[in-house]
């Protein structure tokens, strides 16, 4: 069996899965329940606004809203729909006779099929998988494929139209102009009420302050002390720069940034208290030496859950250029410097999940390929085809190298079907297609160059809010008279 050219249907692998579903998934449902009747990860038919009858949904979270008698709310993701449709439902909106658990197919002699779809044949195989819905022993389809699955039936088109109509009712800002781009927002954002009555709001490219007319913006920008985000520049290479902004120091900027982000993120809560966060803002440097915002991610100063990223956004005009991945790569670079394992805060947006999956697979592939003598070309790895190569997956090493949390690694391996359980532990097995994709990504996508990071983990500044404000004002004055050094 070759490590590289693996056949997933090979019958010489019997029990093969990274993680079997938890034991509790096989519990029977008892008539009197003090626990929620459905657990996260289970599926059930659920009511959906604007649709007659039920739609298959996966329960993502459960919360208890009443103790006696116990009452629960279920946060559901409709499996064939955009994440924007996710919602909390009461038990009465769920058809309890249709509960499905994730479980292994007991009689299968073949390799475990959880998540073994390859990206190349997802379309046809997804349809087959969905056609099995309704059986109790369903095979769960990796979430990433569900997210990108599009159905063009008239019902779906109608639903999407309705979804768009609802969105536009909820959207309160008609248009924004930022750095020469006119952008139509996607979601509601709590900008001051008078601004919801003007046809367009104008944002300062650097401090992100907002104005009702172009003339107001112009007169502001003449006086604006910034030429890019405030804070410290911690990375710059090939016209791309990162600034680290302390939410406790530059609170005005951080709030403006959160408001802007809310226009494009449905799930995000805009925190007026930005003090607990750092904001890492990615900018393109323009010819005239100004720094224009492309996107950002925020990070809690102290995260009990090992989150290394709270919120991530690439502005619409910069999407599909690999910046999302670039931000993610940068967040892990910071974790590597901190020598801490990190994970993004959940739930992720649909675009966020796709970018993460792609990055995690890339990082795993890079780790595996580091075991082999190759010159960076696919050809130099082809010699492994046909050889018996077993790579024992050393999780501690993989985690230390990538700083990706174990559950994210396991989840990725399961989704892409690249892990197998062998006598000596989990093995990772890549297909030639995946290796080719890795090299293509390595060559075509923009990557963070660790050599250009000028950063050490900051000490959170607490209780220095007022004095830091004075320092901030001095810094603004220095920027205005040209004596400020961003590298300081
Ligand atoms: Zn400004």
| CATH number of the structural domain 176-321+458-480 | 3.40.630.30
Going by the DSSP 8-state scheme, the letter that residue 91 receives in this structure is G
CA of 187 from ligand 1 middle (Å) equals: 24
CA of 221 from ligand 1 middle (Å) equals: 5
The secondary element (H helix, E strand) that includes residue 249 is none
The residues of the chain that CATH labels 3.40.630.30 are 176-321+458-480
Please report the sign of the dihedral spanned by the C-alpha atoms of residue 212, residue 259, residue 295, residue 475. Answer: positive
Nearest of 210, 217, 216, 208 to residue 195 by alpha carbon: 210
β strands within 171-276, DSSP E: 176-178, 181-183, 201-203, 210-211, 232-237, 240-246
CA of 256 from ligand 1 middle (Å) equals: 10
Q: What is the pLDDT along the chain (488 residues), one digit of tens a residue?
A: 333 322 223 333 222 223 333 344 444 433 334 567 788 888 899 998 878 889 999 888 777 777 777 888 888 888 888 766 777 888 889 988 888 876 544 443 333 332 332 333 333 333 333 333 333 333 333 222 222 223 344 554 555 555 555 544 467 898 999 998 999 998 888 898 889 889 999 999 999 999 999 999 999 988 998 889 999 999 999 999 999 999 999 999 999 999 999 898 876 566 667 899 999 999 999 877 789 999 999 999 998 889 999 988 999 999 889 899 999 999 999 999 999 999 999 877 777 788 899 999 999 989 888 877 777 777 777 766 544 445 667 788 999 999 999 999 988 988 888 887 777 777 787 777 888 888 889 999 999 999 999 999 987 655 444 444 445 455 545 544 555 454 43
CA of 229 from ligand 1 middle (Å) equals: 9
Nearest of 387, 388, 310 to residue 342 by alpha carbon: 310
Nearest of 90, 191, 100, 165 to residue 139 by alpha carbon: 100
CA dihedral 145, 314, 280, 399 (to 10 degrees): 20
Q: pTM score, two decimals?
A: 0.62
Q: Is 345 a catalytic residue?
A: yes
CA of 475 from ligand 1 middle (Å) equals: 14
Q: Is 289 left (phi over 0), alpha (psi -120 to 50) or beta?
A: left
CA of 206 from ligand 1 middle (Å) equals: 5
In 22-111, alpha helices (H): none
Of the residues 91, 163, 284, 345, only one is catalytic, namely 345
CA of 282 from ligand 1 middle (Å) equals: 17
User: For domain 25-103, which CATH number applies: 3.30.420.310, 2.30.30.140, 3.40.50.1980, 3.30.1330.10?
Assistant: 2.30.30.140
The residues of the chain that CATH labels 2.30.30.140 are 25-103
Cα radius of gyration (the chain): 25
């Amino acid at each position: 069996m070759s490590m590289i050219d693996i056949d997933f249907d090979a019958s010489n692998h019997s029990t093969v899965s990274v993680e079997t579903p938890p034991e509790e998934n096989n519990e029977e449902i008892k008539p009197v329940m003090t626990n929620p009747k459905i657990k996260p990860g289970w599926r059930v038919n659920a009511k959906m606004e604007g649709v007659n009858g039920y739609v298959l949904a996966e329960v993502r979270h459960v919360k208890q809203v009443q103790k006696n008698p116990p009452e629960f709310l279920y946060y559901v993701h409709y499996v064939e729909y955009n994440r924007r449709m996710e919602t909390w439902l009461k038990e009465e909106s769920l058809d309890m006779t249709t509960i499905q658990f994730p479980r292994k197919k007991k009689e299968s002699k073949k390799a475990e099929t959880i998540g073994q779809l390859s990206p190349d044949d997802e379309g046809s195989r997804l349809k087959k998988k969905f056609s099995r819905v309704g059986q109790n022993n369903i095979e769960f389809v990796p979430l990433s494929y569900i997210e990108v699955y599009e159905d063009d039936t008239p019902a779906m088109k109608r639903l999407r139209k309705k979804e768009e109509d609802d969105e536009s009712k909820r959207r309160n800002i008609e248009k924004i102009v930022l750095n020469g781009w006119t952008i139509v927002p996607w979601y509601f954002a709590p900008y001051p009420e008078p601004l919801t009555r003007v046809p367009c709001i104008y944002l300062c490219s650097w401090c992100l302050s907002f104005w009702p007319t172009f003339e107001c913006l112009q007169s502001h920008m003449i006086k604006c002390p910034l030429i890019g985000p405030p804070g410290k520049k911690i990375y710059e290479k090939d016209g791309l720069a990162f600034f680290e902004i302390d939410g406790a120091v530059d609170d005005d900027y951080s709030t403006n940034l959160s408001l802007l982000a809310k226009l494009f993120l449905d799930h995000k809560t805009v925190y007026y208290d930005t003090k607990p966060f750092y904001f890492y803002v990615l900018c393109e440097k323009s010819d005239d030496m100004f720094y224009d915002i492309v996107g950002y991610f925020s990070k809690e100063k102290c995260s009990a859950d090992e989150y290394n990223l709270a919120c991530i956004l690439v502005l619409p005009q910069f999407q599909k250029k690999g910046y999302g991945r670039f931000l993610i790569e940068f967040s892990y670079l910071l974790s590597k410097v901190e020598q801490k394992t990190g994970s993004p805060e959940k739930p992720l947006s649909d675009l966020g999940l796709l970018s993460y999956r792609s990055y995690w697979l890339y990082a795993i592939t890079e780790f595996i390929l580091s075991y082999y003598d190759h010159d960076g070309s696919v050809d130099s790895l082809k010699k492994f085809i046909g050889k018996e190569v077993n790579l024992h997956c050393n999780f501690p090493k993989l985690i230390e190298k990538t700083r990706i949390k174990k559950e994210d690694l396991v989840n990725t391996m399961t989704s892409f079907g690249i892990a197998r359980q062998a006598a000596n532990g989990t093995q990772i097995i890549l297909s030639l297609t995946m290796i080719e994709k890795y090299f293509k990504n390595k060559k075509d996508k923009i990557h963070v160059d660790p050599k250009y990071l000028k950063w050490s983990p900051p000490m959170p500044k607490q209780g220095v809010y007022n004095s830091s404000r004075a320092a901030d004002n001095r810094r603004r004055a220095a920027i205005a008279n040209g004596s400020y050094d961003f590298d300081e």
